[in-house]
Amino acid sequence: MSFYICSNCGYGSASWIGKCPDCGQWNSLKQQQGFDKKTNQPTQDFELTPLSRIKSSTEKKLATGVYEFDRVIGGGFFPSSVTLLTGEPGIGKSTLLLQILKNFKTLYVSGEEGAEQIKQRLNRLKIKDDNLDFSNTQQIESIIKGISKNHKHYQIVVIDSIQTIYSNKIEGTAGSISQLRETTSQLITFAKNTNTPVILIGHVTKEGEIAGPKTLEHMVDIVLSFEGEKVSHFRILRTPKNRFGSTDEIGIFEMTSLGLSQVKNPLAFIDDEKSSAPGMSIVGVTEGKRPIFFEIQTLLSPTILAIPRRVAKGIDYNKILLLLAVLRKYYGFPLDKYDIYINVVGGVSIKSTAAELGIVASLISSFKNKSVKNNTVFIGEIGLLGETRKVVFEEKIISEARRLGFKNIYSSKNIKNIKELKNVFSS
């Protein structure tokens, strides 16, 4: 029995079709043999392994020594793990890797940059090149064959990027769905067989999603997302998927002339003086178990449009619409007469619901043109009934806020409903 697979997207069909109905490519369906024609039996033997015979690995994780990075991935690279690192072009993915891997014997396979470019970046970062070997080979079979001869020699293997690597077993250009599946599969097999951590750098689409099939994220062990605006010097490392640790932790870095430096100060994103102005508020949230404080800025401007503009940067757009609806109902503000712009200072994104009370406070502050009292922080989630709800680790955020010198702390403890926010503004 045979079937046909599209070499571009992996679509399967029981018969040949001239044009792939999934990706639209012509003459891309190739015949594949899944069963032996004579015996009509599967060609692969079934293997069974009792887990009671498997001994747990005692190998230690490879800690990079960069605390902000190790915190995110769970203490270090696990032997045989495959990590996918993604981010916007120019955000600093290669710079981050070169800094965290400077103490490991590393093979850096790049299909995008030459050896001279990597060497120049190392010189700029003042990193010694003794531990780094470079290859620009792009065929996965040649890469694995070359690495396999020296897999004990290399502690970590980096592929930059997975979209530039191809397999001679698959017809189609590098970066196509079928090529991504095949090359990633071969690298995973290599990592498991040799206990060598493999890091894949991946492209993202213009929408910010990981380029390629969703199965790529399912195949790897860890997915890392490096975020931040290019105009901002702050970068945040998140992990949407981690088989060896938590997915809640974040790492914070600052881009400097000497590369990325770790940021451990929870007030890094706000003004040291904690002064206030109309439309501004400070929120306390937790990323993982770590309290961090952000500055929210809001601008309400009379609109000349039939449908007023709503612009949100660093905050989920739908969350803003929900909070505006709650304000309109329980505060009675004529928000339909205003264009509304909301921004998180520092070019970062806030995903925690603990910021909602502060967002509402900044909206009211801008509408009334009154400043929030100095040294004030907001912690709390807003419900659809206008009530303030308690958030995870609220006590920890409050304790950290007091330690950092905030005099006015508003949370679910002292703000039960958004109508009570009228007392938080300067007269």
DSSP 3-state of 95: helix
CA distance 180 to 173: 10
- Looking at the fold, whether 103 and 217 belong to one and the same domain comes out as yes
Q: Is 379 annotated as a binding residue?
A: no
Q: What is the pLDDT along the chain (427 residues), one digit of tens a residue?
A: 567 888 777 778 888 888 888 888 888 888 876 555 555 666 677 888 888 877 766 568 899 999 999 999 999 999 999 999 999 888 899 999 999 999 999 999 998 899 999 999 999 999 998 899 999 999 999 999 998 877 668 999 999 989 999 999 887 788 888 888 899 999 999 999 999 999 999 988 766 677 666 778 899 999 999 988 777 888 999 999 999 888 888 899 999 888 999 998 888 888 766 668 999 999 999 988 889 999 999 999 999 999 999 999 999 999 999 999 999 998 888 899 999 999 999 888 898 999 999 999 999 999 999 999 989 999 999 999 999 999 999 999 999 999 999 999 999 999 999 889 888 888 6
DSSP single-letter state for residue 56: P
CATH of the domain at 402: 3.30.230.10
The pLDDT assigned to 84 comes to 95
DSSP 210-272: BSS-THHHHHSSEEEEEE--TTSSEEEEEEEEETTS-SS-EEEEEEETTEEEE---TTTTS-T
Which of 201, 234, 262 lies at the terminal end of a domain, its last residue? 262
Provide the phi-psi class of 265: left if phi over 0, else alpha when psi is between -120 and 50, else beta.
Answer: beta
The pLDDT assigned to 58 comes to 58
Closest of 169, 181, 190, 177 to residue 109, by C-alpha:
190
10 Å Cβ neighbour count for 147? 21
The predicted model scores a pTM of 0.79
Q: Is 116 annotated as a binding residue?
A: no
The answer to whether the beta carbons of residues 157 and 196 sit under 8 Å apart is: yes
The answer to whether the beta carbons of residues 297 and 362 sit under 8 Å apart is: yes
The answer to whether the beta carbons of residues 266 and 95 sit under 8 Å apart is: no
Tell me the one-letter amino acid at 407: K
Q: Is 314 annotated as a binding residue?
A: no
Closest of 323, 420, 342, 297 to residue 381, by C-alpha:
323
* Helix pair 93-100, 115-125: axis angle to 10 deg: 70
The sign of the CA dihedral 85, 88, 92, 98 is positive
- Looking at the fold, whether 295 and 225 belong to one and the same domain comes out as no
Q: What is the CA radius of gyration of the chain?
A: 26
Query: CA separation (Å) from 33 to 14, 30, 47, 64, 141?
Result: 11, 10, 21, 45, 21
Which of 213, 234, 262 lies at the terminal end of a domain, its last residue? 262
Q: Is 313 annotated as a binding residue?
A: no
Closest of 22, 4, 20, 8 to residue 173, by C-alpha:
8
10 Å Cβ neighbour count for 126? 9
Q: Is residue 67 part of a domain?
A: yes
- Looking at the fold, whether 90 and 224 belong to one and the same domain comes out as yes
CA distance 337 to 176: 48
The answer to whether the beta carbons of residues 357 and 387 sit under 8 Å apart is: no
Closest of 355, 273, 280 to residue 314, by C-alpha:
355
CA distance 250 to 269: 14
Burial of 137 per CB tally in 10 Å (0-12, 13-18, 19+): middle
- Looking at the fold, whether 219 and 286 belong to one and the same domain comes out as no
Tell me the one-letter amino acid at 166: Y
Q: Is 89 annotated as a binding residue?
A: yes
- Looking at the fold, whether 16 and 76 belong to one and the same domain comes out as no
Q: Is 261 annotated as a binding residue?
A: no
- Looking at the fold, whether 12 and 111 belong to one and the same domain comes out as no
Q: Is 208 annotated as a binding residue?
A: no
- Looking at the fold, whether 72 and 197 belong to one and the same domain comes out as yes
Q: In total, how many domains does the chain have? A: 3
Q: Is 91 annotated as a binding residue?
A: yes
Q: What is the domain range of residue 367?
A: 280-421
The pLDDT assigned to 423 comes to 84
Q: Is residue 113 part of a domain?
A: yes
Residues 210, 214, 216: CA angle, nearest 5 degrees: 80
Closest of 184, 222, 290, 192 to residue 86, by C-alpha:
222
Q: Is residue 269 part of a domain?
A: no
The pLDDT assigned to 34 comes to 58
CA distance 276 to 362: 10
CA distance 317 to 323: 10
